[in-house]
Amino acid sequence: MSIETAVGPEGWDRSDQPYPYSRVELVEPDWTRFPGWRDVTAQDWASVQWQRAHCVKNVRQLRSLWGDLVGEGFYEDLERDQRERATMSMLVPPQMMNTMAPSVVPGGPGSLTEAIYADPVRRYMLPVFSDRRTDWSSHPHATRDSLHEHDMWVAEGLTHRYPTKVLAELLPTCPQYCGHCTRMDLVGNSTPQVTKLKLAGKPVDRYDAMIDYLRR
C-alpha cells in the first residue's frame, strides 16, 4: 500500500513536481528470500544476538547469503572496490541487508543482479567499483577527516566545535559501516586505501579526560 503525500498551494500543477513522493507501509521484507537465510526462524531474526553474529563482513559471507541470485560479476566488482577504492571495511547487519531489493522476488540465477546494482541502500552500504566515477572515486573535497574533527580535539576523541555542543567518540566502531563514512579516519578496520587512526589512551583514561574538560 502506498499513500500519496505530494501537496501544494491551490492551483499548483502536480506535473511541476519531478518526483512522485509516496509513503509506503512499513513491512519487514521476507528474509527467507535470500538462500543464506532460508531456514532462519522469526525468533532468531528478532534476536539482537543473532543479528550481531550474522553481520556481513566480507565478500565470502555475502556470497553465502545471496548465492547465485546475484551474478559473479557483482562480487568481482565489489572485490575490486575493496582492493582499490574502499575507505571502509564491510560490516552490514542482517536487517540492513534485508532492505536491499525488498520487492523483487528471486527467480533463479542472476535474478537479483539488476535490482541489487540499482538499490540505493546497497549503493551506500556496499559500494562497488563501477558505482564510482572514474575521475573522482570519492567527493573531490573528501579527506581522511573531512569534518576536521581531529583538529578540534580538546581531549582524545572529544571535539568541541560549537559553544554548547561537543562530540564524544567513545569507540572506534559502529553497529554498521556505511560505505561513505565521514569519520573514515577513525571508524572501522583499516583497508588497503586507509590505515585507520587508533585511539592511544585507555578507555577509562580518555573518558576521565573528557569529563574533566566538560566540568571546567
pLDDT in tens, 32-87: 999 999 999 999 999 999 999 999 999 999 999 999 999 999 999 999 999 999 99
Residue partners of 127: CB distance under 8 A and separation at least 6: 81, 85, 86, 179, 180
139 or 197: which leads in pLDDT: 197
Indicate if the pLDDT at residue 138 is higher than 90: no
Residues 34 and 126 grouped into a single domain: yes
Q: Is 199 domain-assigned?
A: yes
Q: Which residue has the cell 565470502?
A: 60
What is the C-alpha separation between 76 and 128, in angstroms, rounded?
9
Residues 82 and 124 grouped into a single domain: yes
Q: Which of 102, 131, 160 is the last residue of a domain?
A: 131
pTM of the model: 0.81
What average pLDDT is seen over the chain? 90
Residue partners of 193: CB distance under 8 A and separation at least 6: 84, 85, 86, 87
Q: Is 80 domain-assigned?
A: yes
Residues 36 and 97 grouped into a single domain: yes
Mean pLDDT of 13-18: 65
What stretch of H or E contains 63?
helix 59-66
Residues 74 and 158 grouped into a single domain: no
Q: Is 6 domain-assigned?
A: no
Indicate if the pLDDT at residue 141 is higher than 70: yes
The confidence score (pLDDT) of residue 10 equals 59
Q: Which of 131, 164, 180 is the last residue of a domain?
A: 131
Residues 160 and 204 grouped into a single domain: yes
Residues 97 and 35 grouped into a single domain: yes
Indicate if the pLDDT at residue 4 is higher than 80: no
Q: Which runs of consecutive H residues, i.e. helices, occur in 112-185?
A: 113-118, 120-125
Q: Is 182 domain-assigned?
A: yes
Residues 121 and 50 grouped into a single domain: yes
Domain membership of residue 71 as a residue range: 30-131
Residues 61 and 119 grouped into a single domain: yes
Reduced to 3 states (helix: H, G, I; strand: E, B; else coil), residue 154 is strand
Residues 124 and 157 grouped into a single domain: no
- Amino acid 143 reads T
What is the C-alpha separation between 185 and 87, in angstroms, rounded?
9
Reduced to 3 states (helix: H, G, I; strand: E, B; else coil), residue 136 is coil
List the grid coordinates of 125: 552500504
Q: Is 12 domain-assigned?
A: no
Check if the beta carbon of residue 10 is closer than 8 Å to that of residue 27: no
Indicate if the pLDDT at residue 9 is higher than 60: no
Indicate if the pLDDT at residue 12 is higher than 60: no
Residues 123 and 171 grouped into a single domain: no
Check if the beta carbon of residue 4 is closer than 8 Å to that of residue 17: no
Q: Is 190 domain-assigned?
A: yes
Domain count, the chain: 2
Residues 120 and 156 grouped into a single domain: no
What is the C-alpha separation between 27 and 57, in angstroms, rounded?
26
DSSP E strands: which ranges in the chain? Answer: 2-4, 22-24, 153-155, 158-162, 165-168
Q: Is 127 domain-assigned?
A: yes
Q: Is 177 domain-assigned?
A: yes
Q: Which of 74, 100, 131 is the last residue of a domain?
A: 131
Residues 35 and 126 grouped into a single domain: yes
